[in-house]
């Protein structure tokens, strides 16, 4: 641990640099509350912090700016999370859409609320739960030989896809489809629906196999889509307004369009719940060396997890952003858990 006075100076440098974006000199620190020391003493402490790698001097005559190590020490040891005011709570809540009861819609609007609140890029993932079960499957005819197949899971995820059939969609075909779905799909885990299962089911349909096969292949596609956590990214153009990205804006935006590494970054972490702050090279990719990610995990029921967070320059107001993201995560967790419990209670009543 750093000596107390050095900690106070480091915290002040980090906080002033976050606020102004300008290197912090010793004169700016002289009037700090509780720091009744000479300018020479402050300069000596700053020299020690520089030697230890917590701050750096961009130019010979300039003040100091935090390094990645300085931000990390500040976040882990010195940061005092700000209290989230009522106006900020209302601003976050007003950006959310609860009306549809759709988890994916809620997460999309939550990301948009974060973009508005932070002026950074926001990222979220839909719930991924291999233990989720099929709650309902419906077929909605849209033309004589085309129907929309709709899948609902126990975690509230709703997926739909158009399916073209080789025969007209009659009332008899709809009734037969509903009966087969009810007997073979309702209440089974998503992980149980695979190619072998679909092939076995279709093979047992006899004369109905030709007319039913496209419908059940579509169900398999929907199950696969519902089983995979989707990544939602918004507000990435905001990052173009920060000077930290003047040299690599194009590379950064290109990276943010690559789902695989971005998904790995969001899903990785030491814990299933809570907030994780990753600074600079801790993000593992060169394109994010000037960036920080604040990622908050949510949990639904016992198994389903997802994440929501922000991407922005390392010069971000961590003490304000952490409680804001935590508050938003708590709202999402409660909403999605309520959806999960409602679906579970409905299943118990039906059984």
Reported as a single tens digit per residue, the pLDDT across 285-326 is 999 999 999 999 887 766 557 889 999 999 999 999 999 999
pLDDT above 70 for 126: yes
Is residue 39 within 8 Å of 26, Cβ to Cβ?
Answer: yes
Closest residue by Cα to residue 153 from 211, 228, 204: 228
Give strand pairing partners of 65.
56
Chain-centroid distance, C-alpha 202 = 38
pTM above 0.85, yes or no: no
At 151, the pLDDT band (50, 70, 90 cuts) reads very high
**Residue written as token pair 């300008």:** 22
Mean pLDDT of 63-76: 96
E-strand ranges in 210-303 read 231-234, 274-279, 291-300
**Residue written as token pair 């943010």:** 256
Residue 142 has what pLDDT?
Answer: 95
Residue 147 has what pLDDT?
Answer: 96
CB atoms within 10 A of CB 240: 12
Domains and CATH numbers, the chain: 4-78 (1.10.10.10), 86-128+229-350 (3.30.450.40), 134-227 (3.30.390.60)
The rounded percent of the chain whose pLDDT value lies above 70 is: 91
Question: What gap in Å lies between CA 54 and CA 71, rounded to an integer?
Answer: 8
pLDDT above 80 for 34: no
Q: What pLDDT, in 10s, does the model give residues 164-223?
A: 998 999 999 999 999 999 999 999 999 999 999 999 999 998 888 888 999 999 999 999
Residue 263 has what pLDDT?
Answer: 82
Tell me the pLDDT of the chain averaged across its residues: 88
Residue 135 exposure: Cα atoms within 13 Å on the Cβ side: 22
Chain-centroid distance, C-alpha 21 = 27
Residue 273 has what pLDDT?
Answer: 54
Least confident of 115-129, 228-242, 298-312, 319-333: 298-312
Exposure b/e, 28-64, CB count within 10 A at least 16 = b: bbeeeeeeeeeeeebeebbeebeeeebbbeeeeeebb
What is the separation, in whole angstroms, between the first and last Cα of the chain? Answer: 59
pLDDT above 80 for 238: yes
Is residue 215 within 8 Å of 202, Cβ to Cβ?
Answer: no
Residue 129 has what pLDDT?
Answer: 67
- Measured between alpha carbons, how far is residue 61 from residues 50, 55, 114, 126, 154 in Å? 14, 15, 38, 49, 62
Q: Which residue has the higher pLDDT, 335 or 345?
A: 335
Closest residue by Cα to residue 117 from 292, 309, 278: 309
**Angle at Cα 168 formed by Cα 159 and Cα 140, nearest 5°?**
25
At 130, the pLDDT band (50, 70, 90 cuts) reads low
Name the 3-class secondary structure at 219: helix
pLDDT above 80 for 331: yes
pLDDT above 70 for 36: yes
Report the number of secondary-structure helices (H) and strands (E) in the chain: 11, 10
């Amino acid at each position: 641990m750093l000596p107390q006075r050095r900690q106070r100076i480091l915290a002040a440098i980090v906080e002033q640099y976050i606020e102004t974006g300008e290197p912090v000199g010793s004169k700016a620190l002289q009037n700090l509350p509780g720091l009744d020391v000479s300018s020479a003493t402050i300069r000596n402490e700053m020299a020690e912090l520089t030697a230890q790698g917590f701050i750096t001097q961009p130019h010979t005559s300039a003040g100091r700016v935090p390094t990645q190590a300085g931000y990390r020490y500040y976040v882990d040891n010195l940061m005092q999370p700000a209290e989230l005011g009522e106006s900020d709570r209302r601003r976050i809540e007003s950006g959310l859409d609860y009306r549809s009861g759709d988890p994916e819609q809620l997460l999309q609007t939550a990301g948009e609320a974060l973009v508005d609140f932070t002026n950074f890029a926001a990222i979220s993932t839909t719930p991924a739960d291999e233990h989720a079960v099929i709650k309902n499957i419906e077929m909605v005819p849209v033309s004589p030989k085309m129907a929309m197949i709709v899948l609902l899971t126990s975690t509230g995820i709703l997926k739909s896809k158009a399916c073209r059939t080789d025969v007209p969609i009659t009332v008899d075909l709809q009734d037969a489809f509903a009966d087969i779905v009810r007997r073979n799909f309702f209440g089974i885990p998503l992980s149980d629906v695979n190619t072998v299962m679909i092939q076995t089911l279709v093979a047992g349909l006899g004369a109905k196999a030709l007319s039913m096969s496209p419908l059940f292949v579509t169900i398999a596609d929907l199950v696969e889509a519902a089983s995979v956590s989707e990544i939602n990214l918004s507000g990435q153009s905001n990052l173009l307004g920060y000077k930290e990205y003047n040299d690599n804006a194009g590379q950064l935006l290109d990276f943010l369009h690559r789902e695989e590494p971005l998904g790995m970054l969001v899903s990785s972490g030491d814990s299933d719940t809570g907030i994780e702050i990753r600074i600079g090279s801790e993000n593992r990719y060169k394109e994010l060396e000037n960036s920080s990610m604040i990622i908050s995990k949510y949990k639904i029921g016992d198994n389903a997890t997802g994440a929501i967070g922000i991407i922005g320059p390392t010069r971000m107001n961590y003490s304000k952003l952490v409680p804001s993201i935590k508050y938003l995560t708590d709202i999402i967790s409660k909403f999605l858990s309520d959806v999960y419990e409602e679906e579970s209670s409905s299943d118990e009543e039906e059984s």
